[in-house]
Amino acid sequence: MSSCQSDERDPKVKEFQDPRTSKGLQRIPCFQHDGLCLFVPPPEMLKGARPVDRVNSIKEAELKDDDIVICAYPKCGTHWLWEVIEMLTSGTLQHQKAVKETRMFEFLYKEGIEAVPPRRVFNTHLPLRMLPKQVVEKKIKCIQIMRNPKDTCVSYFNHCRDMAEPYNYQGDFVEFIEVFMSENVPFGSYSTYLQSWKAEVAAAPELPTLDMYYEDMKLDPVKAVKKVARFLGLASSDKFCEDVADACSFKKMKKVDQEMKSGLPIKIWADGSGGTFYRKGEIGDWKNWFTVAQSERFDIIWNKKMKDSGFEFTYSPV
């Protein structure tokens, strides 16, 4: 899906394969760095620097001891978890006016990260090896949120299709399934992302991490909020956790997004596309998109890649 370019000045940067889809459609502009396909940032974010230098700067960013980082593959519920943690850490039910992209490592880079005032709840789709070195050195609390891969695939397709030019994916869903299973998608394949997370966390055993699942948050939001509060060492009352879960329901967050959110660093959605970070918010929407044959083929490929990984996904609300 991505027109991944090479950068000959960095030995880790190699060229991705065919930059066009099988139907000859334009793919999303990406570059490859350290084995990962990443969006080429727009000029206002690059500020004249090379994409690879901007990404590398993240590793050198200074962190504060009580920073928190949400790590997640795209479309697994980062916005939701970010709002929950902002409420828990601030002890209020106020929704953030700013969008969570204003706290995203890959939008901020080193100078932007360091300029964020405390208390800071960052988020990222990058693997651990590309995060600030101080994440591991300072034992920063990291929360991973995961989602079943079929709903993630559907959500990612809708996201990419609705993006503003030049980032708008122009292939169809059937083709996107193949792209989603390949490494040639922004932030790489979901299976590789999860396997990398597992391996990188195993190599940093003192890093405090919590694994969350989107489906668990959906099925029992109060329990999920309490789990996060406990991990963060917060003395949030049961009542407050219930109120946070309610304030962060899909319906309420969608309304808040439409009425008061601001601060997106770049134009994300194409005019008239209806693009939104709050599309459906359900478990099992994939059944409206995959045929039985596509679903079976997906299972075979996914299960082969994820064999013995230990991740358990919920594909249906009951």
Q: Which residues are designated catalytic?
A: 125
State which residue, 56 or 147, has the beta carbon closest to ligand A3P.
Answer: 147
Vertex 141: Cα angle to 137 and 146 (nearest 5): 120
Question: Please, what is the minimum distance in Å from the beta carbon of residue 27 to ligand A3P?
Answer: 20
250 binds ligand A3P (CB under 6 A): yes
315 binds ligand A3P (CB under 6 A): no
State which residue, 139 or 287, has the beta carbon closest to ligand A3P.
Answer: 287
Question: Please, what is the minimum distance in Å from the beta carbon of residue 9 to ligand A3P?
Answer: 32
State which residue, 166 or 317, has the beta carbon closest to ligand A3P.
Answer: 317
Among the listed residues 157, 193, 197, 277, the single contact to ligand A3P using CB under 6 A: 277
Q: Which stretch binds ligand A3P (CB under 6 A): 49-57, 61-69, 74-82, 237-245?
A: 74-82
Place of tokens 């409206």: 288
Among the listed residues 33, 54, 75, 150, the single contact to ligand A3P using CB under 6 A: 75
Question: Please, what is the minimum distance in Å from the beta carbon of residue 293 to ligand A3P?
Answer: 22
77 binds ligand A3P (CB under 6 A): yes
CB 164 within 8 A of CB 268: yes
State which residue, 140 or 248, has the beta carbon closest to ligand A3P.
Answer: 248
27 binds ligand A3P (CB under 6 A): no
151 binds ligand A3P (CB under 6 A): yes
Place of tokens 């949120």: 145
Residues near ligand A3P (CB under 6 A):
72, 74-80, 151, 155, 158, 218, 248-250, 253, 277-281, 285
